[in-house]
């Protein structure tokens, strides 16, 4: 009997207690508070209620506020018009299980069925499936992390006990006003028909909420759905790096500066932060056939390109998506190519190079600039390069950009390095040096012609013999 109790303790600890503590304390795999400037997320559990939810929707409409409703499936049945109204008025609908029962007391398969059944009701009423989930009482079991990977688990940062009628309007209002801060995910209840709640407690909540919203509006706060709160938080994090992140970037860039000195890399152009650097070296990879008909073979002389990671870090910090980062990097490369061509034309070490070469993850669209893109042959170099560039991506950029909303295949492709090659003949079409040389030669010839014409005119004035052209 003692062993049975001990095993029961172990199972409950790892199945329920520890996952709940980790999620609530550290926010692991859940969203519980935003990082924003003037936004608050109002969230309502346990509804919809045929009496109080319509009153709540009226209140939100008067204040132009958006909210998130985590509905109980059994309460939503027969209240489809309320669900449609929520969607029509711009609110977000999430799942709160089919019955208000703790995930600790259900098997993983049962939890999944509760969610799927509730989602079917939401989809039938609104035409869309919910993607946000809040487990009753915020309790998560070990398997929720993997089984519910397609849902965003939402907890909260502010809770006031509004499900108890005896709290009263005044005390509830005071509690709420103390939590009027940007990024708060406020937990309230628009239904009292659950275990431990009072049937008419939402009446007090509505009175307190009106005071709270009026004072918040006077201070410039805005009420948004959880979807917008998460987007704004991602954007904030992308532009406001932590002290640890800034320290990591500084150390990485110091190492990169030492690398440039050690391998004698040359800066392209005169900018303080150039698009890339280069060095003239010998190609050591596999032989590559170019679409132009030529090839690059082992032992050929090449110009090896290196992106400047200070520029990559700055662009990634300001960009809202990996696509935006790639587009801006592509523009910087396009702007720098004429400078690179000019330098290689005048660099004695580069007189006999066959191509310019680089390995990068930012490769989409490079073919439009004249680069040819090749998969790297699997081997030690490819593996170490992949590890290095993934580490670089993690240190210098917002890696959530590269995983959010993507399948495993898309994520793998987005961070898979490619080899870029551009034949030197193509690169020279970017050169401005040769154009200037031709222009200077034309101007020199024109000056000589003008001089000859001027001399002929002088001879005519002096009565000399004229010269025909």
Q: Which residues are catalytic?
A: 45, 189
Residues sharing a CB contact under 8 Å with residue 56, sequence separation 6 or more, in sequence order:
44, 190, 202, 206, 209
User: With the C-alpha atoms ordered 399, 401, 404, 410, is the resulting torsion angle positive or negative?
Assistant: negative
Closest CA to 186 of 208, 154, 213, 158: 158
Question: What is the maximum span of the chain, computed from C-alpha positions, in angstroms?
Answer: 133
CA 334 to CA 336: how far, in whole Å?
A: 5
Helix axes 52-63, 201-218, angle to 10 degrees: 10
**Angle at CA of residue 358, ends 353 and 361, nearest 5°:** 165
Exposed/middle/buried for 357, CB within 10 Å: 0-12, 13-18, 19+?
buried
CA 401 to CA 419: how far, in whole Å?
A: 23
Dig out the tokens for 362 from the structure.
């930012």
Decide if 229 contacts 41 (C-beta within 8 A).
yes
**Angle at CA of residue 79, ends 74 and 80, nearest 5°:** 105
Q: Where are the beta strands (DSSP E) in 113-270?
A: 132-133, 152-153, 158-159, 185-189, 222-223, 266-267
How many residues are given for the chain? 469
Q: Taking the CA of residue 18 as centre, how many other CA atoms within 13 Å lie in the half-sphere pointing to its CB?
A: 9
Decide if 366 contacts 420 (C-beta within 8 A).
yes
Exposed/middle/buried for 137, CB within 10 Å: 0-12, 13-18, 19+?
middle
CA 190 to CA 224: how far, in whole Å?
A: 17
Residue 268 φ then ψ, to 5°: -95, 120
281 SS3 class: strand
Q: Where are the beta strands (DSSP E) in 283-371?
A: 288-289, 295-296, 301-307, 355-360
What are the beta bridge partners of residue 67?
42
């Amino acid at each position: 009997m003692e062993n049975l109790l001990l095993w029961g303790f172990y199972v409950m600890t790892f199945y329920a207690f520890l996952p709940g503590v980790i999620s609530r304390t550290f926010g692991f795999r859940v969203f519980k508070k935003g990082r924003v400037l003037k936004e608050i997320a109002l969230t309502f559990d346990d509804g919809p209620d045929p009496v109080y939810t319509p009153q709540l929707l009226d209140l939100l409409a008067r204040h132009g506020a958006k909210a998130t409703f985590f509905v109980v499936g059994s309460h939503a049945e027969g209240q489809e018009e309320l669900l449609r109204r929520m969607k029509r008025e711009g609110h977000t609908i999430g799942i709160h299980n089919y019955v208000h029962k703790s995930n600790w007391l259900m098997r993983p398969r049962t939890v999944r069925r509760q969610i799927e059944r509730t989602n079917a009701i939401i989809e039938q009423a609104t035409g869309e499936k919910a993607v946000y989930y809040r487990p009753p009482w915020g309790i998560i079991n070990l398997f929720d992390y993997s089984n519910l990977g397609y849902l965003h688990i939402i907890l909260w940062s502010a809770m006031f006990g509004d499900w108890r009628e005896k709290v009263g309007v005044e005390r509830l209002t005071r509690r709420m006003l103390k939590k009027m801060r940007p990024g708060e995910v406020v937990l309230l209840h628009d239904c009292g028909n659950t275990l431990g709640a009072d049937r008419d407690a939402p009446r007090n909540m509505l009175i307190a909420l009106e005071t709270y919203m009026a004072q918040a509006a006077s201070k410039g706060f805005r009420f948004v759905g959880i979807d917008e709160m998460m987007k704004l938080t991602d954007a904030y994090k992308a532009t406001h790096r932590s002290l640890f992140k800034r320290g990591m970037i500084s150390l990485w860039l110091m190492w990169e500066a030492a690398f440039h000195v050690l391998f004698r890399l040359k800066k392209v152009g005169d900018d303080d932060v150039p698009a890339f650097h280069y060095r003239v070296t010998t190609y050591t990879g596999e032989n590559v056939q170019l679409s132009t008909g030529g090839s690059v073979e082992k032992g050929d002389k090449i110009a090896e390109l290196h992106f400047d990671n200070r520029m990559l870090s700055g662009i990634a910090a300001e960009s809202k998506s990996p696509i935006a980062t790639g587009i801006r990097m592509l523009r910087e490369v396009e702007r720098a190519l004429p400078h690179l061509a000019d330098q290689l034309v005048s660099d004695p070490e580069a007189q006999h190079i066959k191509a310019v070469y680089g390995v990068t993850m930012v490769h989409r669209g490079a073919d439009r600039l004249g680069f040819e893109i090749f998969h790297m042959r699997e081997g030690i170099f490819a593996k170490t390069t992949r590890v290095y560039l993934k580490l670089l991506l993690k240190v210098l950029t917002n890696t959530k950009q590269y995983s959010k909303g993507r399948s495993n295949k898309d994520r793998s492709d987005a961070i898979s390095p490619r080899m870029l090659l551009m034949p030197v003949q193509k690169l020279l079409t970017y050169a401005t040096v040769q154009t200037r040389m031709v222009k200077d030669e034309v101007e020199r010839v024109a000056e000589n012609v003008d001089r000859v014409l001027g001399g002929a005119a002088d001879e005519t004035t002096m009565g000399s013999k004229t010269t025909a052209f």
